[in-house]
Chain A
Amino acid sequence: MSESQITTARGSHLSRISTIAIHTFTQLVRMKVFYFMAIFAVILIASNFFDLPQHSGPEAAGEHAIRMIKNWSTGPMTLFSVVLGVVATALLLPKDIEDRTLYTILAKPVPRFDYLAGKLLGVVLLLFVSLAIMDLLMVALLQFRVDMLIDQQTEVAKAMGWSAQEISALREETLANGVNASLHAAVFAIFLKATIMAALALLISTFSTSTLFTAVVGFLLFFIGHFQADAREIYMQSGQLGEGGIAKYGSLAFAMLVPDLQLFNVVDSITEGKVMPLMLMGKLTLVALYYLIFYTVASWFVFSDKEF
């Protein structure tokens, strides 16, 4: 049963993986998962009405509303994408086994790795498309709001007798707080986080006996992933594992097995107006790739000897 025995099946690995990925994407779309987009749109529109009058000068007018739109967009984006990543992945494998569609696929010249990789890529494609649409919605609303804000600020500033140079500087500052590359990078970080969770859910579902178990363990690991870095640090500092090698390598091994999701919590600082360095973006991509490859290979290791 070992996949190392794979020799010459018809068609390439790439074509089989893409066939399964596109099919998985279609399957999830036809399961009407995009309905959550409507909820997202409602949340986004609602965030527009929370422009509380707490500004003291023209430079602060509407700024709160912009931050609110960013926060109210990125929050649901994280929630929807992680839930979608975990639940969709947790659902696919047991459903194929229960409906015996898996038999018909594996009875074709399809290596088990291709099947798993195709399923995961299908979910990742869905996450990408979902987040891209949500990103577009957010950008459209944000741009509209920023334009409104600039008009409002200019009007107030003129009434207060600001110079043209000051008004231009304020305009630049407001624009920088609106749609920028860092905001897209924040959405990309959310995508990476959801992708890691989907790959982890795939690994759990290869030995799990139910969708519920996979989803529950997946979300549990999602929370552990957010606190593991702090927990490791506290544990190391307390000296419970002793000094030196064992503690250090034990901690490292834990970080390699359970995703360190705290690294991806860059969204809050970006919505506050901070810029995401390119270096950090590259680091997050590499970390996500590591977890993605590690969980996929581990899933294949378990799945290649599974009997149906």
Chain B
Amino acid sequence: MADSTPAVEIQNLVKEYKTSFRRSPLRAVDDVSLRIMPGEVYGLIGPNGSGKSTTMKALLGLVAPTSGQCSIFGKDSLKVDSRNDVGFLPENPYFYKHLSGVETLRFYGKLCGLKGKVLKQRVGDLLEMVDLEGAKDRRIGGYSKGMLQRIGLAQAMIQEPRLVILDEPTAGVDPVGSRDIRDLIMKLRERGITVFLCSHLLEQVQEVCDHVGIIFEGKMIREGKLDELIAIEDQTEIVIKDASPEMIQKISAMVGQSEGASVVRTGKPRTTLERLFLREIRKDES
């Protein structure tokens, strides 16, 4: 039987910040509500300063809501035990530069109550998962941006949480690093882990998320299943391999004969610039 308790539930969240220069407080989040069920990958998208990070911080108890409630697997976000089931990767994390990759994971593992063989095994598994076994003894200070994000993702996963919260996970990372992180997010989805991420890189969100919410000026303006939100209801797409010009002509003629239907566009589908870049890089490497 599927778990019916939402992984994340935010109800009418309002967060206002006191400002020294304004009479009225700044409302960073304005009556936001959302629900993420276990196993979903939810993307909160919006421009910079729209309230994405504040929403995440409220969910993690790093800021207290002015009004409204946040819960993780039914537990109030303001309670420490709600964080047993959550891993968090902040935007541009630095971690402790004096620690090596393996020491970093051990530190976070111990904070979560792991020790001995269990901790050692978990650290080894995670280093393998994020492909940092070769750099595990290097100080974090010498890690690249992509490696930092990957070790960050590993620390978020250290206590095997059921929910992972990622704040701009691919911001500032090169295309290869960004691809790696998105592949990791997909691996998490395959393992049934709920992912809540926020980003303003829309194409990347579209690739990994099954649900999205659009936040603008602190308000949730649209929310739902990604497929439903972006589908153009009155159009149908057929992709044919090795189609001759004659076949295309025949299909176009057939469509023309049908009442009310018309061909909007024919042509070759394009690959993305990212796929082209990664293909060329890998070709060069091999």
Contacts and interface: CB of A to CB of B under 8 A. Distances in A.
Interface of A: 1-3, 5-12, 15-16, 19-20, 23, 26-27, 30-31, 99-101, 103-111, 305, 307-308
B80 A100 contact: no
A2 B159 CA distance: 24
Interface string B87-113: 111111111101100000001101111
Nearest to A7: B81
A106 B110 contact: no
B61 A106 contact: yes
Contact of B111 (A5, A31, A108): A108
Given A6-B81, A107-B87, A107-B88, 9 more contacts: A5-B76, A23-B96, A27-B96, A101-B96, A103-B62, A106-B60, A106-B62, A109-B112, A110-B83
Nearest to A1: B64
Given A11-B113, A308-B57, A111 B80 contact: yes
A307 B62 contact: yes
B88 A10 contact: no
B86 interface: yes
B63 interface: yes
B44 interface: no
Contacts of B115: 15
Contacts of A107: 60, 62, 83, 86-88, 90, 165
Given A7-B79, A308-B63, A99 B111 contact: no
B98 A15 contact: no
B98 A5 contact: no
Contacts of A26: 98-99
Interface residues of B, number: 39
B71 to A, nearest CB: 13
Contacts of B96: 23, 27, 101
Nearest to A11: B113
A108 B93 contact: no
Given A6-B80, A109-B83, A307-B64, A101 B88 contact: no
Contact of A1 (B78, B90, B91, B92): B78
Nearest to A102: B62
21 contacts: A3-B80, A5-B79, A5-B80, A9-B81, A9-B83, A10-B159, A11-B114, A23-B99, A99-B94, A100-B90, A100-B93, A100-B94, A101-B95, A107-B62, A107-B83, A107-B86, A108-B83, A108-B108, A109-B83, A110-B80, A307-B62
Contacts of B111: 11, 16, 19-20, 105, 108-110
A26 B62 CA distance: 26
Contacts of B114: 11
A16 B62 CA distance: 19
Contacts of A10: 84, 112-113, 159
A104 B154 CA distance: 12
B149 interface: no
Question: Which residue of A11, A15, A31 has the most chain B CB atoms within 10 A of its CB atom?
Answer: A11
Interface in B207-260: none
Nearest to A100: B90
A111 B78 CA distance: 11
B98 A31 contact: yes
Highest count of chain B CB atoms <10 Å: which of A5, A31, A107: A107
